[in-house]
C-alpha cells in the first residue's frame, strides 16, 4: 500500500496527497472528496478501500487518519451543482476542492481512477487506487465517513426516506420510498430511479370546480 508513495519519494516529491471521492452512485445527497498527505513512511495498519471496511472500522480510522496526516482537505459538491454539471464533473470538482483545502499544498496527487483534475500539482491517476495506495485509501475513508454523516443529518429532515440506513444509495428500500413519497430536495433529479417520478409530479392535473368550470394546476 506504500508502493506509489515510495515511488513518488524516489522521484523527488515531498508532499504526496491521496485523493478520492465518495457518492458518485447514490440517488440523493452530495458527492464528497478528500485529500490526505501523510509524513513519508507513515503506516496505519489496516487502512484499505473504505468499501472493504465496516462502518465501525471507518469511524475508527477516520480519527487516526486525521491525527496522523500532515494535512487533509475535504470537498463537498451539492445536489444542485451535480444537476448542473453532471456527476463526473462534480466528482472532479469535489476532488479539486479537497486538494485546495489542504493546509499543506501537495506537489503530487495520487488520484483514484483515470481522470485528472484541474490543478497545477503533478498527478498520477491509479485505477483501483483505493486498494493500492494507503494515501488514497485514507482519502476514501475520510470522504465516505464525511458523506455518511451528512446523510445521517439529512435523515432528521426527511425521515420518511430512511437516509440513515442506505445513505442515499439506490437500495430497494430507498427506491420504494421514492415511489411512495416522490423525490425530496436532496434527490438527484437527473438520475434514473428519481427522474421517472418527476413526470408524475409535474403532470398537469385538471380539477372540476363545480358546474362546467375547470382549472388546470401544475404541481
Q: What ranges do the domains of the chain cover?
A: 3-158, 161-218
Task: Indicate whether 190 pLDDT > 90.
Answer: yes
Angle at 92 between CA 144 and CA 24, to 5 degrees: 45
Phi, psi for 85 (deg, rounded to 5): -115, -5
For residue 215, name the pLDDT band (cuts at 50, 70, 90).
very low
Q: Is 159 helix (H, G, I), strand (E, B) or coil?
A: helix
Model pLDDT, residue 205 = 37
Interatomic CA distance for residues 156 and 41, integer angstroms: 42
Interatomic CA distance for residues 130 and 43, integer angstroms: 15
Phi, psi for 138 (deg, rounded to 5): -65, -40
Q: What cell does 13 get?
A: 516529491
Model pLDDT, residue 219 = 29
Model pLDDT, residue 199 = 65
CA distances from 148 to 62, 98, 168, 203 (A): 12, 17, 9, 34
> Options 3.40.640.10, 3.40.50.720, 3.30.420.10, 3.40.50.300; which CATH number does 3-158 get?
3.30.420.10
Model pLDDT, residue 98 = 98
Task: Indicate whether 193 pLDDT > 90.
Answer: yes
* Lowest mean pLDDT across 65-69, 102-106, 177-181, 212-216: 212-216
For residue 211, name the pLDDT band (cuts at 50, 70, 90).
very low
CB contact at 8 A, 17 and 36: yes
Amino acid at each position: 500500500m506504500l508502493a506509489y508513495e515510495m515511488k513518488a519519494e524516489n522521484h523527488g516529491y515531498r508532499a504526496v496527497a491521496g485523493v478520492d471521492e465518495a457518492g458518485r452512485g447514490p440517488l440523493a445527497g452530495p458527492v464528497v472528496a478528500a485529500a490526505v498527505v501523510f509524513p513519508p513512511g507513515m503506516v496505519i495498519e489496516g487502512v484499505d478501500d473504505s468499501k472493504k471496511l465496516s462502518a465501525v472500522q471507518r469511524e475508527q480510522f477516520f480519527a487516526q487518519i486525521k491525527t496522523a496526516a500532515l494535512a487533509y482537505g475535504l470537498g463537498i459538491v451539492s445536489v444542485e451543482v451535480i444537476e448542473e454539471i453532471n456527476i463526473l464533473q462534480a466528482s472532479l470538482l469535489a476532488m479539486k476542492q479537497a486538494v485546495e483545502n489542504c493546509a499543506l499544498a501537495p506537489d503530487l496527487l495520487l488520484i483514484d481512477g483515470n481522470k485528472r483534475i484541474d490543478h497545477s500539482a503533478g498527478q498520477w491517476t491509479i485505477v483501483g487506487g483505493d486498494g493500492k495506495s494507503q494515501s488514497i485509501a485514507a482519502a476514501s475513508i475520510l470522504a465516505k465517513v464525511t458523506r455518511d454523516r451528512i446523510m445521517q443529518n439529512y435523515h432528521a429532515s426527511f425521515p420518511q426516506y430512511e437516509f440513515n440506513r442506505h445513505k442515499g444509495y439506490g437500495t430497494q428500500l430507498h427506491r420504494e420510498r421514492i415511489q411512495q413519497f416522490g423525490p425530496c430536495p436532496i434527490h438527484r433529479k437527473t438520475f434514473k430511479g428519481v427522474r421517472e417520478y418527476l413526470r408524475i409530479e409535474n403532470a398537469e392535473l385538471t380539477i372540476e370546480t363545480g358546474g362546467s368550470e375547470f382549472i388546470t394546476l401544475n404541481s
